[in-house]
Structure formats: C-alpha cells, structure tokens
C-alpha cells in the first residue's frame, strides 16, 4: 500500500511540475535615450510575434512592463512570456521561427533605421515557474 501511495504522490508531483506555467523574463535597458525606438521595436516585433504565438496556442500570455526610474538604472523594460509548460518552452525556436519569418521576412521592423544594438541592451534573462497566481481565483464581485 505504501508503494502505491508513494507512486501516486510522485506521479502527482511530476505532473504538476510538467503542467505548470513557465515564464521567460527578459530585462532590457534603453540606450542613449532611445525610448521611442525601443517601444516601436517591442510593439512591432516582440509583441507581434507573441500575438501570433498566442493565437497558435504556443504561449498563454505575455506582459510588457516599463520600470519606474530609480537610482539603480539597471533596466527600463521587463518583458514576460508565459508558456503553458516546460514542453512548450522547449519548442520555442521551432514555434517562433516560422512566425518571425512570416511576419518579418526582411528582418525586424525598426524606427529611424536604428538597429537593436543602437537602442537597447539585453541583460541576462530568467526562467521562472508559477508558484502562486491570482489568475485562477474568481472575484467576489462576479
């Protein structure tokens, strides 16, 4: 009986680990006060690719945050992409490659011909798993 309970517990934990959302969190710093170029790039490339990936079911959601200026000045934007699970994240290049080729066959859409390296610095990204979330809770006002 203990073996059955242990097997069930391990299977449940393994299933939960596999099926939980995985977030990719990118940190970007605007260079040389080129905020407009950065926003244009995010909206017309990064966001456009994720909108298409969302329609295809490759991702669950995305979020772009602009940080409030502080003394650290380490990054200006946090770009989050939520994948349904680790298997979906493992296929990110396989899934996003065709989207990028379709939407940007001649390369990314740019403002003022500024190349991404001219207006942004990408900092090391992070991957994170959802531990708690309010998205699964129903509002009492409904």
Is pTM beyond 0.85? Reply is no
Assigned token pair, 48 = 């456009």
Query: Residue 137: inside a domain, yes or no?
Result: no
Look at residue 7 and tell me if it is in a domain.
Answer: no
Q: Is residue 83 domain-resident?
A: yes
Question: At 77, is the secondary structure helix, strand, or coil?
Answer: strand
Domain total of the chain: 1
Q: What is the pLDDT along the chain (142 residues), one digit of tens a residue?
A: 555 544 444 444 444 445 789 999 999 999 999 999 999 999 999 999 999 999 999 999 999 999 998 888 789 999 999 999 999 999 999 999 999 999 999 999 999 989 999 999 999 999 999 888 887 665 565 5
103 within domain boundaries:
yes
Tokens of 19: 């099926």
Domain that holds residue 70: 39-129
42 within 8 A of 64, measured Cβ to Cβ: yes
DSSP state of 69: P
């Amino acid at each position: 009986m203990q073996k059955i309970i242990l097997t069930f517990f391990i299977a449940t934990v393994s299933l939960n680990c596999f099926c939980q959302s995985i977030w990719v969190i990118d940190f970007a710093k605007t260079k040389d006060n080129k905020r407009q170029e950065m926003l244009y790039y995010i909206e017309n490339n990064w966001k456009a690719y994720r909108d298409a990936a969302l329609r295809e079911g490759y991702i669950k959601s995305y979020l772009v945050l602009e940080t409030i200026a502080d003394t650290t000045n380490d990054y200006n934007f946090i770009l989050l992409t939520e994948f349904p699970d680790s298997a979906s994240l493992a296929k990110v290049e396989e899934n996003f490659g065709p989207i990028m080729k379709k939407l940007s066959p001649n390369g990314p859409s740019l403002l003022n011909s500024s190349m991404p390296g001219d207006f942004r610095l990408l900092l090391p990204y992070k991957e994170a798993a959802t531990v708690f979330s309010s998205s699964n809770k129903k509002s009492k006002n409904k």
